[in-house]
Structure 1
Amino acid sequence: MSGEKKVAREILIATLGTEPQGVTWMLDWLLGQGYPIREVLVLHTQSDVVKSALEKLDLEFGLAQTYPGLSYRREAIHGEAGPILDLASERDAWAFLRTIYRAIRRARQAGQVVHLSLTGGRKTMAVYAMVAAQLLFGEHDRAWHMISDVHWSGSEKRMHPSPSDRFQVVPVPVVRWGDAATVQILLSEVDDPWEAIRRQQEYALQEKMRQRREFWQHYLTPAQREVAELLVREGLDNAAIARRLGKSEHTVANQLTRIYRAFDQWRGLPIGKTGASRAAFIAEFAPLFLNEET
């Protein structure tokens, strides 16, 4: 419909401390690299020392018209007890995690590609922002950090780099906790980061158990499963397993060798480089029998 507002395709989400250049330098670099950023969201605390940085950013995106056609928003961090002045406690950090999680989630729900800047603000912000990214990022989302020799704490605080400024922007690898299906569930259903973490852990455990059952059923023969179950469930040695099953110790030893090779294959280890051991095998598959009656 012609009356619908078109959502910007790529968004920069940036944290802010006392140095507003962290936002504009990053934005300038991204635009210079050809990323079609059309929206900037700045997340910030509400301390007095941050106000001047916000005023400079308001000017850049407002009266100065440095970025015509680019949408700019800023969002203050709130906790259950009110405005967050600084990330000075665990409760403050949790409030920021809720804020950054929901910001990324809104952008992903709107179909935007997220560029997450980890340059500004407290180091705690970067740490918790990465947690949110690990939960919600898609294939095309990116996290960035700036490395610079420029001393922004001086009296001259240029909002844009000059050709002589030595700095570089580096991508920060984000190891996503879940697959695409899991992320879609979080995007559609989970608005709270702590619930998202709980669900992600639950999904990961379920997937691990599925993989263990798959190994047990498809990598082992019925005879090998008999040996493996006595090993894992009861911790029997080779001689005890042999007596229980009416086999020779030599036969049991050979079967365990094949079981461990299958275990290595299942774990993706190179052929001939075994890492399997009795203790590792028991530790991996003991959860299959934890909830069964003995």
Structure 2
Amino acid sequence: MTDVFVATLGQRPEAITVALDALMDSVHIHRSIIIHTDPRAANLADAYASLKSVLDTDYSIPVEWREVRHADGRPLSEITTREAAEGYFKHLYNTLRELKQHCTVHLLVSSGRKPMSIYATLAASALFGHADRVWVVLSPDHVIAPGKFHIKSRERRHVQLVDLPLVAARFAPGMAPENVEEFLTLRRDARTLFMVKLSDEERNVVETLMKHPYSTNGQLALVLGKSPRTIDNQLSSVYGKLVAFLDSGEHVKDKKRLLVDFLRNSG
């Protein structure tokens, strides 16, 4: 598989070439893809123009520029609404899913716009395998200064390209939803998808717990007219199903709090 470098463009374009230089010391990058919002917008125009000039002049690898737009084709300049955020995420998700069919992806999330970095990392967490990487560039502010697209050898020790400890995708290879709407639905409806995995009795206990989130198991038993041992067993089964559903949380001591927080925050 070929290696492809993907970066989201913000107001810190120098981080992109610094990361690319560091990465190319050890990886044969076949092409680069720059994902960006409206290149004519005042908050991005200079960064876009300067990065394009450097990539065209200083590198021999092909560069593809992909602009994110609103669903109706309007230019997208800022991520300030849910519509814009979901549109940006959809573009990233579809781009990474396409590349994952035949490439190892190196995704940089250090270009200076936090919402972009967050949505890029979220998309990667849904799709990436063990060979793919999410990178950040760490350095003192004076090292990667405005207009400083390449770091001199004597300063390189101050720059670190760090591989984020991203958990490989929970989807089996090739099984990630093709339609990004399906993925977003899975995210929004996590509560519903989890609750259908419970038995009627377990669901009844959980719904009672959500009405009385600070109750002990003994107090829940009194409300439901059951023995404390029965409540203990039913909640233990629920916690096990929650850990399997989330693919995490097995080491959390307060699983009741984990359950309540999950149900409050999902769907």
Equivalent-residue separation in structure 1 for 2:169 and 2:76 (angstroms): 28
Counterparts in 2 of 1:23 and 1:231: CA distance versus 1, 3 Å:
closer
Q: The residue matched to 1:84 in structure 2 has which SS? A: coil
Amino acid at match of 1:161: I
Residues 215-259 of structure 1: CA deviation (Å, up to 9, x unaligned): x9xxxxxxxx9xx9998899655xx65xxxxxxxxxx77x65994
State whether structure 2 residue 92 is matched by structure 1 residue 105: no
Q: For the Cα contact (< 8 Å) 2:6–2:34, is it kept in 1?
A: yes
State whether structure 2 residue 190 is matched by structure 1 residue 169: no
Q: CA deviation at 1:74?
A: 1.0
Residues 55-80 of structure 1: CA deviation (Å, up to 9, x unaligned): 33333333x3x333x22111122113
Amino acid at match of 1:16: L
User: 1:36 corresponds to which residue?
Assistant: 28
Amino acid at match of 2:29: I
Q: For the Cα contact (< 8 Å) 1:13–1:40, is it kept in 2?
A: yes
Q: CA deviation at 1:145?
A: 1.0
Counterparts in 2 of 1:207 and 1:85: CA distance versus 1, 3 Å:
closer
Equivalent-residue separation in structure 2 for 1:231 and 1:51 (angstroms): 56
Residues 12-55 of structure 1: CA deviation (Å, up to 9, x unaligned): 110112332111111111111x2222111011122245333333
Out of 5, 16, 32, which is 2:9 matched to?
Answer: 16
Equivalent-residue separation in structure 1 for 2:204 and 2:75 (angstroms): 59
Structure 1 residue ranges without an equivalent (≥5): 1-7, 217-224, 242-251, 288-294
Q: Could you tell me the TM-score, scaled by structure 1's length?
A: 0.63
Q: For the Cα contact (< 8 Å) 1:177–1:200, is it kept in 2?
A: no
User: 2:214 corresponds to which residue?
Assistant: none
Q: For the Cα contact (< 8 Å) 2:129–2:169, is it kept in 1?
A: no
Q: The residue matched to 1:164 in structure 2 has which SS? A: helix
Amino acid at match of 2:62: S
Q: CA deviation at 1:121?
A: 3.6
RMSD between aligned alpha carbons?
Answer: 4.1
Equivalent-residue separation in structure 1 for 2:114 and 2:171 (angstroms): 28
Counterparts in 2 of 1:230 and 1:82: CA distance versus 1, 3 Å:
closer
Structure 2 residue ranges without an equivalent (≥5): 209-219, 244-248
Q: Percent identity?
A: 21
| Larger radius of gyration between Structure 1 and Structure 2 | 1
User: 2:19 corresponds to which residue?
Assistant: 26
Out of 195, 200, 206, which is 2:182 matched to?
Answer: 195
Q: CA deviation at 1:159?
A: 1.6
Counterparts in 2 of 1:89 and 1:263: CA distance versus 1, 3 Å:
closer
Amino acid at match of 1:178: R
Equivalent-residue separation in structure 1 for 2:204 and 2:97 (angstroms): 47
Q: CA deviation at 1:261?
A: 11
Equivalent-residue separation in structure 2 for 1:40 and 1:49 (angstroms): 23
Equivalent-residue separation in structure 1 for 2:113 and 2:204 (angstroms): 53
Q: The residue matched to 1:40 in structure 2 has which SS? A: strand
Amino acid at match of 2:54: E
User: 2:149 corresponds to which residue?
Assistant: 159
Equivalent-residue separation in structure 1 for 2:161 and 2:204 (angstroms): 55
Number of residue pairs aligned between Structure 1 and Structure 2: 236
